[in-house]
Amino acid sequence: MLDFSREEIHEVLDTAMHMRAEGYGRELPLRGKTLAMIFQKPSLRTRVSFETGMTKLGGHAIYLAPTDISLGKRETTEDIALVLSRYVDIIMARVFGHDIVEDLARYAKVPVINGLSDHEHPCQIMADFQTILERKGKLEGIRACFIGDGNNVANSLMLGAARVGMHMTVITPPGYEPTAAVVSSANDAAASTGSKIAVSNDIAAVSGADVLYTDVWASMGQEAEAAERKNVFEKYRIDAGTFEMADPEAVILHCLPAHYGDEIEYETSRLPNSAIFDQAENRMHAQNALMLHLAG
């Protein structure tokens, strides 16, 4: 998220909101362009939103499964980046290690988009910000709370919020907080925007929040910890009690897939305040705007 200035984030979001409101018409700004999509982790939203989005913009997307590209095994990441740069106009990578995205960006001669890594999930946060803008009309001064694991989504939310002047509190069980390095980076970025970044172990920190956000308790690759985490995170969920502590007009967000009954109560997810499916749709619009910003 910190690769973008505040102005660039708003430029991308303005484009995304325009495309969602006005549609795509007959203009094909990425006609003749090709997107390579590298997947180490499977995904419904990431694959379909990027592939559909590229089609709407007139371009073409190629899905590269883990069996097609064994990053760092059959070929070095450097060679993969250099070869793909001879064929395609943009590379998107959904991977485990963040170092893979960094290496792709270091060696590629075309733009590289982080579709998700264990460290950050910036495409999701662009869609989240678009959704908040649509519901609240602004980002600056909005008070958001993320409830759950201090994971890649929490990291990008803190860093992105710091960039745009939004207040962000990450609420986790003890021992599951975001790393001190990420919190420090977010606070450094927040110094120029007035954003307030905080980490808490107290679910009551959601009091008066404008946005409530959660994610799965065990991310992909943490399946062995799922049972233990279910006990640890039991009180860290969005349910009727949590929602009652927030502002009555609070927006409910979840980046999906959801485990109903765990991190979010099904009934709460279907309230009029919930924007989780707007969020899912906005992945496509925000990513399309990002691709136009990078390669249009």
Question: 200 and 172, same structural domain?
Answer: yes
> What is the spatial distance between Cα 269 and Cα 162, in angstroms, rounded to a whole number?
27
**Per the structure block, which two tokens stand in for 50?**
């990027």
CB-side neighbour CA atoms (13 Å) of 41? 22
Cβ contacts of 249 within 8 Å, gap of 6 or more:
210, 273
Question: 263 and 193, same structural domain?
Answer: yes
Going by C-alpha positions, the residue among 92, 160, 149 that lies closest to residue 127 is 160
What domain range is 18 assigned to?
6-120+283-295
124 is catalytic: yes
Confirm whether 234 is domain-assigned: yes
94 is catalytic: yes
**30-51 as b/e, with b when 16 or more CB fall inside 10 Å?**
beebbbbbbbbbebebbbebbb
Question: 220 and 201, same structural domain?
Answer: yes
> What is the spatial distance between Cα 5 and Cα 2, in angstroms, rounded to a whole number?
7
Confirm whether 65 is domain-assigned: yes
Residue 226 confidence (pLDDT): 86
Confirm whether 254 is domain-assigned: yes
> 20, 121, 143, 285: which one is catalytic?
121
> 40, 124, 130, 287: which one is catalytic?
124
188 is catalytic: no
* Single-letter code of the amino acid located at 122: P
Question: 93 and 152, same structural domain?
Answer: no
In the chain, the number of structural domains is: 2
Burial class of residue 266 in the structure, from the number of CB atoms within 10 Å of its CB (0-12 exposed, 13-18 middle, 19+ buried)? exposed
Q: Left if phi > 0, otherwise alpha if psi is -120 to 50, otherwise beta: which for 74? A: alpha
Question: 211 and 153, same structural domain?
Answer: yes
Give the bridge partners for 92, in sequence order: 37, 113
Q: Are the C-beta atoms of residues 155 and 183 closer than 8 Å to each other?
A: no
Question: 275 and 128, same structural domain?
Answer: yes
Question: 116 and 142, same structural domain?
Answer: no
Q: Are the C-beta atoms of residues 190 and 184 closer than 8 Å to each other?
A: no
**Per the structure block, which two tokens stand in for 256?**
């999906």
Cβ contacts of 41 within 8 Å, gap of 6 or more:
94, 95, 96, 116, 220, 221
For residue 114, what is the enclosing H or E element? Answer: strand 112-116
Question: 148 and 96, same structural domain?
Answer: no
Residue 260 confidence (pLDDT): 98
Confirm whether 151 is domain-assigned: yes
* Single-letter code of the amino acid located at 257: P
Question: 139 and 202, same structural domain?
Answer: yes
End-to-end CA distance of the chain: 20
Question: 239 and 94, same structural domain?
Answer: no
121 is catalytic: yes
> What is the spatial distance between Cα 293 and Cα 164, in angstroms, rounded to a whole number?
18
> 47, 163, 254, 283: which one is catalytic?
283
CATH of the domain at 239: 3.40.50.1370
Question: 194 and 100, same structural domain?
Answer: no
> What is the spatial distance between Cα 209 and Cα 191, in angstroms, rounded to a whole number?
21
Peptide bond into 29 cis (omega under 30): no
Question: 143 and 95, same structural domain?
Answer: no
Q: What is the pLDDT along the chain (296 residues), one digit of tens a residue?
A: 999 999 999 999 999 999 999 999 888 999 999 999 999 988 999 999 999 999 999 999 999 998 888 777 788 999 999 999 999 999 999 999 999 999 999 999 999 999 999 999 999 999 999 999 999 999 999 999 999 999 999 999 999 999 999 999 999 999 999 999 999 999 999 999 999 999 999 999 999 999 999 999 988 777 888 899 999 999 999 999 999 999 999 999 999 999 999 999 999 999 999 999 999 999 999 999 999 999 97
Cβ contacts of 182 within 8 Å, gap of 6 or more:
155, 158, 159
> 47, 255, 279, 285: which one is catalytic?
255
Confirm whether 1 is domain-assigned: no
Confirm whether 170 is domain-assigned: yes
> What is the spatial distance between Cα 278 and Cα 128, in angstroms, rounded to a whole number?
9
